[in-house]
């Protein structure tokens, strides 16, 4: 028998045939085993209270591009919403598994057995109450009977307004409260459809920079530990992929520290957030927020402090936005911030 007597008709011996078969089998399963996972969509509004989210997304993408190891990588993608009802619906139905949400709204959802948990803060301060520059309003007594716009009765902006009214012995019954998407508020004030509005930035700065509005009150002056937007995730994401949630929290906390380190970092964040992929806004307006004054919104202290959330919950009960107190553990998962190591942001 010649040396090639055992070869197949195509010139392959038994060992080669087995190798080809194994390669073919591997190729058939590779797409399902090594297919690149979809990025985690994280919902957010185009407000500077959510600024840590675009920074975290870009920082993660930048780090992934620089990593040539070939190891699997987490990815995040900002999903823009224009109002709280839409983002709430998407999180409730599971169309998205993570979002920056109003803290009282998360409390309410959790109390209604929607499986969501707060895992991190997103900012501190950042709300303003704006009036027209040419108005005579100096005190809230001056606004008696006037129309004041708020984003939602679940918004912490509304609690801020209630605190300011209470300081002068007033209540929301002494004014006309209207709910309105924050992007519509500056134009409504300009057209005199409302006499004042209370919201997060940059929608106060937009009217102030244009010259027709001024801040009547800012949280930076009146409520220093103010929190509004919090990173919220569905419980099945925590159950199924804790490392992903931890990595996201690490990046959000890293983004917060990076934003408060120096003005140059804030300038970079302005350029990122203003882009079409994120807020799609005039960068000069976001820059105005970052500079007038520099602590108009802060991001470096993202500690989860139980007493602050319980105060917020009690204020929401008093406001009627929550029907009854909600236990802290029902809406909060502190484990990720306790285990966090803030990611170094390289941008």
Dist CA 342 CA 176 (whole Å): 43
Dist CA 94 CA 104 (whole Å): 19
CB atoms within 10 A of CB 314: 12
What confidence category does residue 10 fall into, taking pLDDT thresholds of 50, 70 and 90? very low
Lowest mean pLDDT among 46-60, 63-77, 198-212: 63-77
pLDDT at residue 75 greater than cutoff 90: yes
pLDDT at residue 12 greater than cutoff 50: no
Tens-digit pLDDT profile for residues 218-272: 999 999 889 999 999 999 999 999 999 999 999 999 999 999 999 999 999 999 9
pLDDT score recorded for residue 13 = 53
pLDDT score recorded for residue 31 = 42
Q: Domain map of the chain by residue range?
A: 40-125+226-338, 127-222
Tell which CATH classification among 3.40.50.150, 3.40.50.2000, 3.40.50.720, 3.40.190.10 matches the domain 127-222.
Answer: 3.40.190.10
Average confidence (pLDDT) over 330-345: 97
Write the CB contacts of 194 (distance below 8 Å, at least 6 apart in sequence). Answer: 147, 148, 149, 178, 180, 185, 188
pLDDT score recorded for residue 181 = 86
Tens-digit pLDDT profile for residues 36-57: 678 999 999 999 999 999 999 9
Average confidence (pLDDT) over 77-105: 94
Dist CA 290 CA 301 (whole Å): 16
Same fold, 40-125+226-338 and 127-222: yes
If you ran DSSP here, which 8-state letter would residue 66 be given?
H
Considering only residues 13 and 50, tell me which one the structure prediction assigns the higher pLDDT: 50
pLDDT score recorded for residue 215 = 97
Minimal CA–CA distance to 39: which of 279, 332, 344, 277? 277
Identify the architecture of domain 40-125+226-338 in CATH.
3-Layer(aba) Sandwich (3.40)
What confidence category does residue 84 fall into, taking pLDDT thresholds of 50, 70 and 90? confident
Lowest mean pLDDT among 77-81, 152-156, 203-207, 273-277: 152-156
What confidence category does residue 11 fall into, taking pLDDT thresholds of 50, 70 and 90? very low
Contact 321, 158 (CB under 8 A): yes
- The whole-model pTM stands at 0.86
Average pLDDT, the chain: 90
Handedness of CA 172, 134, 284, 260 (dihedral sign): negative
pLDDT score recorded for residue 222 = 95
């Amino acid at each position: 028998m010649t040396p090639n007597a055992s070869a197949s008709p195509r010139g392959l011996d038994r060992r080669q045939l087995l190798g080809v078969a194994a390669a073919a089998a591997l190729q058939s399963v590779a797409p399902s085993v090594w297919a690149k996972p979809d990025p985690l969509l994280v919902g957010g509004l185009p407000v500077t209270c959510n600024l840590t989210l675009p920074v975290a997304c870009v920082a993660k993408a930048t780090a992934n591009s620089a990593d040539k190891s070939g190891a699997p990588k987490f990815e995040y993608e900002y999903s823009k919403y224009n109002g709280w009802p839409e983002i709430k619906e998407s999180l409730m139905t599971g169309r998205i598994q993570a979002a920056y949400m109003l803290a009282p709204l998360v409390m309410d959802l959790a109390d209604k057995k929607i499986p969501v948990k707060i895992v991190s803060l997103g900012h501190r301060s950042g709300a303003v109450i704006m009036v027209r520059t040419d108005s005579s309003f100096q005190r809230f007594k001056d606004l008696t009977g006037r129309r004041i716009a708020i984003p939602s009765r679940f918004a912490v902006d509304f609690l801020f307004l209630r605190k300011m009214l209470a300081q002068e012995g007033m209540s929301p019954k002494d004014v006309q409260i209207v709910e309105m998407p924050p992007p519509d508020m500056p134009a409504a004030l300009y057209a005199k459809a409302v006499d004042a509005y209370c919201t997060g930035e940059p929608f106060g700065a937009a009217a102030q920079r244009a010259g027709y509005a001024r801040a009547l009150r800012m949280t930076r002056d009146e409520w220093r530990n103010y929190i509004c937007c919090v990173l919220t995730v569905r419980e099945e994401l925590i159950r199924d992929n804790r490392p992903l949630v931890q990595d996201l929290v690490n990046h959000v906390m890293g983004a917060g520290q990076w934003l408060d380190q120096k003005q140059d970092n804030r300038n970079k964040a302005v350029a990122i957030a203003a882009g079409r992929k994120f807020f799609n806004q005039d960068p000069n307006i976001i820059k105005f927020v970052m500079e007038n004054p520099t602590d108009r919104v802060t991001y470096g202290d993202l500690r989860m402090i139980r007493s602050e959330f319980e105060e917020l919950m009690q204020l929401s009960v008093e406001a009627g936005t929550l029907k009854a107190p909600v236990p802290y553990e029902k809406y909060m998962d502190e484990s990720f911030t306790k285990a966090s190591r803030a990611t170094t942001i390289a941008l």
